[in-house]
Structure 1
């Protein structure tokens, strides 16, 4: 039986992994484990198709240990016993246990002693938050690593590799993949490499070759094989960003109906990554201090959406969009940090006042570091007048409060009181 392309292209060593460089890049934790031959059991959690199985496969390939795959929900205790017996014979087995959050107590009790003695190196994979969904007895014996959604550039790299690999990939075919079709594969699969590779393979094997035996894959073919329409047919991809821009501007302008329309375009395209990322930006850029609770609710909605995936993800995200549209608005936070950055980038940083500099090292006293600093908690109201900005910027004002919401109105009142007390 022919294995799917995503299965065949699984990494055989750490260098073949795309993305997840925070775990497998030079000097990072999993690469350090493999290099030092000091593997420990771990749990990898993150969205589907982001590389959990690939990391486990690459670890096994890099260490030459036996590699077995089981599913905590469907495989039995007897299947675990077979792996344990193999571990006794060979010394060590790496066991990828998918859906580890569904491991029942009987299987867990069987596994624990094998994890303790190191015969089985468990790599648990889950889409659920392990701090909530996984039994503490397993958690305490594993390290927990978050696997993040792949970026379009990561998926593009994997597609290029698959097209050129004649042994495991599609290199035996003459495939012409149009740029906009490749963009559809990389951007509209929500960081899910498995979906991108399997969509590519379906397109390649279901499209007749031309007279020169070239298989020409166009955007409509890829759309059909992914069952996800592009947001636009614009070859340069500009309209994709136009939709995102219109989405943010509609929320900033408090037009809930327009914002829901542009959200619907992103949902129809299956672009969960762009939608959730943009919502988080909007919450803190455009609503910000006018309504911090709405920002918190948006974070929770994005977390729920990433756990649910489409189609259900549209429900908490629609609530967040309406909430942000109808909320008071303030951009004072982004305006403040950008004003401060402008001074720093213009070379106006200035010298940090001596009394604010670090005094927790030998020799600091001789340099008069920290000398004259007044500890605010020693004074009434936990405040004392003293200069914090460098001399060259001591009159600078970056934060310009707004009064569109009750929270920032209260912040403005406190800010004004403090400025008067400073004599500024």
Structure 2
């Protein structure tokens, strides 16, 4: 083989140079074009796989047109995201879109100068928009008294029971439909060797708020704050709540129930096989599927069989998207276009099938149904069936109270005192009502300044 090096072909080098020049010109043009796009800041509380799914949707929107670029920004927990948005608004530098959790809805609605109602934005941008495009349980939660959506429903879920099929087969039981059946099922599970019958995530949300709605109970006066803000009082120390909390306290002594902490801290008790059931958000599906080493099923929340209206309906938890005031006027058309994209059947089907949240639009639900998703994943229908079990009554449309995060904290503290055997259920809920009513009064006073 010859060691003689050939001289480069001049024509060949010229061709390569020409190609590189053309390529660099394309990249330069693309970069300049991308720089010209209007950037839409989308602050959110979605981390991990959920954050990746949000980014995927933003990327799809960005690739579908060349005028706007949505930039998702993770801002921490729901509470941190909300506080960051409030601080940014006060500093006259708000994000374009911010994800606000369900219990922040009353606070946001009261801050009228801070946001642009979604129905107003869509009308101004001539985008077809109606509350009827959304599933009723999501629409009612984020609508004003005229039934118009002030924020866009986004990640919506509701409590369900996840159950370990292996432990259930061993005990010879089926998922309990009522709380009375839970007593029987829980004891049989324990007798067959299960270390724990069930645990619960988000204790105040699942065992107080959703318990009230699913059983057709009043949680607070003035239809849980929907009719009026002033003068609202909690009703959480009424008999059904006291009996329910007392029963949870008794079960915690025998192992039928095991408390695992706030929020979703108890989920590992189920995923590890320690507890046979986990009551929590339907959106826990992805995390449980990724961690559980056993077959599991999904069933509806138990209801109180002694109550005539039970089961009634649950409502959505999660968050919605709020459009902030104070951003450049050139941004609003892009914001509206992105929200329209997020409402589409394709976007909603992708979001729901990837995360375990329910599709919030009728188009999303119909697309998943036509694709056979619910035939393949029947457990995904449980949340939808609960949300639509009966038409909501005026007091089961949701719970819209100010300082709701603080009220949840008060409730959780008192529930923990019962689980630890330090207080009776009646004493605990009397105290939760007292502190909660003070918070509601403080919220009303804050609106007057």
Bigger share in strand: 2
TM-score bracket relative to the smaller structure: under 0.3
Structure of greater Rg? 1
Report the TM-score, using the length of structure 1 for normalisation: 0.25
| Structure with the larger RCO, 1 or 2 (CA within 8 Å, 6+ apart) | 2
